[in-house]
């Protein structure tokens, strides 16, 4: 059983790809497209990276980036918008 104190860190690390699910702090679904399920150590590392990250763009920032950014920036902004991470 993989436990997470910060479930959003897992989505953040994987660009909010669909198919990752948690329930009450337990990782319950992992998409095959990401390969093998992560280890507890990997999840803890991702959480540490997430906690140390600079602030994420706001909803308004992502709306602008989704239209005016580079292709990669647009894709990332659109993924965050669809995931509703605000």
In the predicted structure, residue 16 carries a pLDDT above the cut 80: yes
Overall number of domains in the chain = 2
Confidence (pTM)? 0.63
Write down the pLDDT at residue 85.
Answer: 72
Scanning 19-83, the segments in alpha helix (DSSP H) are 40-52, 59-68, 71-83
Q: Say if residues 39 and 1 touch (Cβ distance below 8 Å).
A: no
Instruction: Let me know whether 4 and 39 are in one domain.
Output: yes
List the one residue out of 2, 84, 1, 4 whose CA is nearest residue 48. Answer: 4
Instruction: Let me know whether 47 and 81 are in one domain.
Output: no
In the predicted structure, residue 86 carries a pLDDT above the cut 80: no
Range of the domain at 61: 54-86
- What is Dmax (Cα atoms) for the chain? 41
Instruction: Let me know whether 49 and 78 are in one domain.
Output: no
Instruction: Let me know whether 44 and 59 are in one domain.
Output: no
Question: Residues 31-77: pLDDT tens digits?
Answer: 999 999 999 999 999 999 999 998 878 999 999 999 999 999 999 99
């Amino acid at each position: 059983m993989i436990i997470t104190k910060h479930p959003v860190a897992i989505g953040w690390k994987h660009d909010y790809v669909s198919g990752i699910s948690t329930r009450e702090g337990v990782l319950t679904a992992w998409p095959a497209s990401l390969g093998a399920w992560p280890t507890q150590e990997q999840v803890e590392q991702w959480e540490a990276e997430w906690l140390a990250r600079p602030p994420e763009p706001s909803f308004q920032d992502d709306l602008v980036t989704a239209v005016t950014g580079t292709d990669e920036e647009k894709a990332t902004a659109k993924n965050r918008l669809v995931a509703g991470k605000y």
